[in-house]
Amino acid sequence: MSEPNENQPPYNPPPASGDAVPPPPPQDGAQQQPPPPPPPEAIPYASPGTYSGSGAPPYAGPAPTQDDRNLAMLAHILGIFTSFLGPLIVWLVRKDHSPFVDDQGKEALNFQLTLMIGYVISAVTTVICIGPFIAIGLSVIAIVFGIMAAVAASKGDAYRYPVNIRFIK
């Protein structure tokens, strides 16, 4: 065996067929620079940590503006006080202007429609005396989840209600 020569580069076997040929290492000892990251407008916005895995996929549109966040928050809050009418109006007026308001307006509207089904069930079961308890439970759920959704929307996170029938997709 011969001694390796310090002036000779180490032997690298040729790449297998179909493999990309790696670039040669720098000769002057300089570090190679990684490629620059893509510009911010090329990266889709993904709402962090709000996808529960059930139902609709997470929002992945452009980052919402402050107005978009305020309108999405308004849709969730109006759902607490006006049932499905508030989210319906916000969604119909702004769905074509903002993907975030479109997403959150549909989410709030679907949740309020799901609650309406629950209230109908509670009205029917009033005959057997459990209807009022179901209605009280649904009211508490509507308030708690509505506030949680409004807080998430005000931060720019797309909220997904844990129990939601997706009538409008």
Percentage of the chain surpassing pLDDT 70?
69
Residue ranges of domains in the chain: 66-154
Q: 52, 160 in Cβ contact below 8 A?
A: yes
CA–CA dist 18, 74 (Å, integer): 55
Confidence of residue 151 (pLDDT cuts 50, 70, 90): very high
pLDDT at 51: 46
SS (H, E, C) the chain: CCCCCCCCCCCCCCCCCCCCCCCCCCCCCCCCCCCCCCCHHHCCCCCCCCCCCCCCCCCCCCCCCHHHHHHHHHHHHHHHHHCCHHHHHHHHHHCCCCHHHHHHHHHHHHHHHHHHHHHHHHHHHHHHCCHHHHHHHHHHHHHHHHHHHHHHHHCCCCCCCCCCCCCCC
Model pTM? 0.66
Cβ-proximal residues to 98 (8 Å cutoff; 6+ apart), any chain: 64, 65, 67, 68, 71
Least confident window among 34-48, 49-63, 142-156: 34-48
